[in-house]
Structure 1
Amino acid sequence: MSAAAALAALLALGLPEGAARYRVELGGVTVGLAELELRCGRERCRARWETRLRLPEEAGGAVTTRRFETELDRAGRAVGRMRRTRDAEIARLEVPSGRVPAGLAEALLATAAGRGEAACVEVFEEETLATGRACGAWEGDTLHATVLGVEERVTFAADGLPETVALASDGARFLRDRRAAVPSRPPRLTARVAGPGDPARAESFCGVPVDPPPPRAPPGLPAPRAAGESCREKTAAYLATAAAAGHEGRTAIGVAWDGDGFVWHAWAELLADGSWVPVDPSFGELPARGPRFTVARHGAGRAAALAAGRRVLACWGRAGVLAR
């Protein structure tokens, strides 16, 4: 289907209206909820896409919220500014002209795509404003779509809004559920991560290259041990001990080799002689040995921990460590 024909189909059919709540799963674990709402007048529509997700215990366990509120024309293209709320931070952003918010791509493709015939729309990613294409075609009762390079499988309810959305790349699923809620307790990251049996072959995880060899640890750093039940608790206790001794530190979260395979893990980093030295109080390593893939780092403060937690969520459920 040509771009002109797809646009004509969208204009003729219009956006579906309504509201839906979804249970959000990562790697088969419920982490929170998402809500989609579309309301239209004669010439304009308003869209709201919101997620409330509980960060994993290893990333602090707080609830992170994102909300995008956008005015649209009847073809689903954003007009004017988008209001983005990210936890306590509110911004009004100029959106790429003539493009559809990526969160609406599935509903638009469902109306524009024919049976066995693909349709495409120009989209932008709401968080980063990155632009690209979303394309999809029906295979039976499922829309097979690719949105900004991410493959999706989507089914739809009678109101035209998605019933289920499954993302192949990271194991994320959005399942329509009017009772969906944020879990009361932080989920635990799946301990084991698939990867090569030979750690020397490890190359990248979730787009993150293997950490470089650690710098030599100078004398005077606290011994790599601390009390606690989990790697996060031990890391926090170790950093408190280091701070009391006058050492600046931060938390690192990522994937590490534990001797048997790759695991999600947390450890400390201390600033010494101008370099950050990784210290693993759970494994008793100073400096911490590799291979490791540091997905996020954060110092003290809720905002820094939330930002790191969002990066961890983006990598949770990824297929595994890639080998060279």
Structure 2
Amino acid sequence: MSDAAALVNEVLLAEPRGFCAGVDRAIEIVERALVKFGAPIYVRHEIVHNTYVVNDLKAKGAIFIEDLAEVPPGATLVFSAHGVSRAVRDEAAARGFQVFDATCPLVTKVHVEVAKLAREGFEFIMIGHKGHPEVEGTMGQLSDGIYLVEDVADVAGVRPRGDKLAVVTQTTLSVDDAAGILAEVKRVFPHVREPKKQDICYATQNRQDAVKLLAPQVDVVIVVGSPTSSNSNRLRELAERLGTDAYMVDAAEDLQAAWFDGHPHGARVGLTAGASAPDILVQQVIARLKALGALSVQRMHGVEETVHFPLPMGLGDKSMQQVAAERSAPRS
């Protein structure tokens, strides 16, 4: 065996990893719309933040846009999993598009909570990353009275007009970072109203918990995910915070042999994937790690996810096979 082939000894797979229910649902909405209505299907923003997924859907006939002015009259439009502002929703309705909403139901839950509490006179602090489409969508549920904080220092700059204040959170944040910021919010605003259930989604929590178990057992952590994926970036940061070298790759060819150097018996590599990364990419990374010498691949024990979200009316009442058969059947 060559020196290069012995760089990696073993691969430890995090559980769970990869697609969550919200991502599965969003991709299926676009695929079903393409089969049922034919190309092109327009999608506002990347349906999920993964290069492979977006390119695959482009090849099938999806067109990704940011401005609704790019969508022709009468077209079918899908809102991405990250959600949209009320202004975007209203514009789509005014333009008469056939709209299918692929917003993750856990993001929709936050939107509903914001709308409900706003009617009761609440203002909001939103914990999240400026410019992220989910944050823009949630903050865009209101015309004013919602204040973004990205870190603990930002909390001091919040100046609510009244004394009714609630807090909401981007669903894909670091659980630990969000907890630290929330603690500061509660210190500065002791009467702030918290969500009944934490806004950070179950999949984000589960994948971060898996990395907390994985990182101390390996020499290097590899996260499969695209640079734009918030939850994937948080996994890499978490592994680094735990003292393990960690790298994020969009595809197997991004792996660099130098990352695994310096381990006499070959590196033990931990492998996980963000919630928007398909399993085919994980399998390709495993194949590349085997080419670098990995002799075994072991799965860790972890939470089994059984969450499933229904599809929108008009798309979810038949199987993909039925939809495809109907589309290909001769018309009378």
**TM-score (structure 1 length as normaliser):** 0.23
The structure with the largest strand share of the pair is 1
Structure of higher RCO (CA pairs closer than 8 Å, 6+ residues apart): 2
The structure with the largest helix share of the pair is 2
